[in-house]
């Protein structure tokens, strides 16, 4: 008899619009000026579904925590977001992970990407 795996991965996506500057070795002039992007993010949670609810975690709880975090990023100057550091995709992934992990212990991965220029970063535990 074939049995299905018992671990599931669920996710929630969100977006935020934000401005930033960045010191870089290439594309320096345009990066140093304040400019903005629409960032997309996805948080992944991994675990075994509860036998009574059938859920790894109630997605309503995930959406609530994501909404609180989104308020810290949406329409802000990322250079001024405390605890972010230089506003790179890597640091955004770390920031989101650190912010959500205490309230969402099943958090296993965070992905941030910018559709307009095709770049992305994924941070996994």
Domains, the chain, with CATH or none? 8-124 (3.30.479.10)
Q: What is the mean pLDDT of the chain?
A: 93
H helix and E strand count, the chain: 3, 4
**How many CB atoms neighbour CB 26 within 10 A?**
5
**Which of 33-37, 60-64, 102-106, 121-125 is predicted least confidently?**
33-37
Dump pLDDT digits (tens) for 42-51: 999 999 999 9
Structural element, H or E, at residue 44:
strand 35-47
Q: In this prediction, what percent of the chain has a pLDDT beyond 70?
A: 97
User: How far apart are alpha carbons 121 and 34 in whole angstroms?
Assistant: 22
Average the pLDDT over 36-61 and give the result. Answer: 96
Question: pLDDT at residue 2 above 70?
Answer: no
Q: What is the pLDDT of residue 18?
A: 98
Average the pLDDT over 91-118 and give the result. Answer: 97
Question: pLDDT at residue 1 above 70?
Answer: no
**Which of 4-8, 48-52, 58-62, 65-69 is predicted least confidently?**
4-8
Closest to 73 in 3D by CA, of 118, 116, 26, 110:
110
């Amino acid at each position: 008899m074939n049995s299905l795996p018992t671990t599931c991965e669920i996710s929630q996506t969100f977006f935020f619009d934000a401005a930033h500057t960045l010191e870089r070795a290439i594309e320096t002039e345009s990066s140093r000026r304040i400019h903005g992007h629409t960032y997309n993010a996805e948080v992944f949670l991994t675990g075994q579904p509860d036998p009574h609810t059938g859920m790894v975690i109630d997605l309503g709880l995930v959406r609530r925590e994501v909404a609180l975090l989104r308020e810290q990023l949406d329409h802000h100057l990322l250079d001024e977001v405390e605890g972010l550091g230089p506003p790179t995709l890597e640091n955004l992934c770390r920031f989101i992970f650190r912010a959500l992990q205490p309230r969402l212990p099943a958090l296993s991965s965070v992905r941030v990407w910018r559709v307009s220029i095709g770049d992305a970063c994924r941070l996994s535990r």
